[in-house]
Structure 1
Amino acid sequence: MRNNQPVTQREYVLSEEAVLISRSDLKGNVTYANPTFVEVSGYSRDELIGAPHNLLRHPDMPEAAYADFWKTIQAGETWQGVVKNRRKNGDHYWVHATVAPLRDGERIVGYTSVRRKAAGKAVARAEKIYAEIREKANPATTR
């Protein structure tokens, strides 16, 4: 799993109005990024387009969360969840993400992701659950 470093433990707080939109190909490479997504990520548009979307993966996110994510969207279904992403400078931000297959007729040709600021209670719940998942996956490294 990609382990993007460094991390700062500083949170970049999204505004209530912010809507981050991106599209990716079937392999997860970014094909479109709206201006808000570019700004929040800290990367330039040129750095994002063509790059794997997991460029934003925060090391606190457990691999199991992404396994469920990929299983769901590759089956043609919509996935929703709370995600901790890493900005280019190592800061992080929390979003509630909705990811849906992009279709050409019946064929899936990519994925669209729409993200908004995650609610505080949802973040607290996600932090607890993700820590438990990481501990179960790596009991020796979390003590």
Structure 2
Amino acid sequence: MKDRTYLKPPWMQRNVGNRLAPLFGRSVVSRLSVRGRTSGQWRTVPVAVLEYEGARYLVSYRGLSDWALNLQASPECRVTAHGRTEDLMAEEVPEADRPPIMAAYRDKYGGMPTVSAVLTALPDPADHPVFRLHARS
């Protein structure tokens, strides 16, 4: 098994930036809620949902984050954007299919603080879990 590749965000981003992101980046930032893999409690984090070739994706740009591990354990999630919450399923994208999605993510969100630097530090698409979002049936 591969070691967990993850670049932990600095304290300021985790404790201040993540709380303020939905207030200032409403057109870009959504809230992802997913059940904790051990606690079963809902956990919520800010994310940028990528729309690419008619589908929506979540990219864990810092690597194998806790929210990505939680989605791998339980793919049911909620995404809240523009005051609307959707109950969704997340399907992990195979590593071989990630490069064009990662390129589109960099093109769209590379100007956001830290995104470009993190993607430069972790250039291998295999280091970034990517999930395609689907409506729950």
TM-score by length of 1: 0.33
TM-score by length of 2: 0.34
Greater Cα radius of gyration, structure 1 or 2: 1
